[in-house]
A and B are shown apart, each in its own frame.
Chain A
């Protein structure tokens, strides 16, 4: 149980285009979903926290107009990187917090590798 999927797993786009990444909790309802960014051989950096039906809370230094987060349902959150530039190239990982059971547990998706040319 507690499976989180992400789509796509890899995306290559041209500078200036927008890219949407989906995060789904497959077998549970997630009260909260999180978006992280990870640089090579580095730790995970929390970008934003989203609760279903409400606006996302962004971490300091993360541009909310650039990284649009929508949490449409208890099983789906999307991250849209708008007007992507090469410096946005990174590994983006979502996680979902279970609604029941151990409330603090976050289960992570497999990640999405974004390359902006």
Chain B
């Protein structure tokens, strides 16, 4: 119930392509869904976040799509660049706590 399932585990995308990472959750008490980007040896940085009353949110090249009925949400990175190569974590929040997905290692090939 507390888990957030994230897929794929790793992803290789050509420069300019679209990277798509998917997450699913069970607990309907989750009310805030952020995505974090982490580079090796660094802490996670907040990328973009969404609440369940919104189906889509776009910030620059990053878009979150949210499907409340399916309890799924995804991150789309448009025009992926080598600098986007990092580990991406989805998360879900209820109350005080953030529950993280397992992470997706993204590599963008130039």
Contact = CB atoms under 8 A, between A and B. Distances in A.
Interface of A: 4, 6, 32, 34, 41-44, 46, 49, 91, 93, 95, 97, 102, 104-111, 113
Interface residues of B, number: 21
A113 B98 contact: no
Chain A binding surface SS class:
strand
A24 to B, nearest CB: 13
Contact of A104 (B32, B36, B42, B102): B32
Q: Which 4 pairs from chain A and chain B are nearest by CB?
A: A108-B43, A104-B32, A111-B43, A43-B100
Contact of A108 (B41, B44, B93): B44
Given A43-B103, A108-B36, A111-B41, A49 B96 contact: yes
14 contacts: A4-B43, A42-B102, A42-B103, A43-B89, A43-B103, A44-B44, A49-B96, A93-B43, A104-B31, A104-B34, A108-B36, A108-B44, A110-B43, A111-B43
B97 A49 contact: yes
Nearest to B33: A104
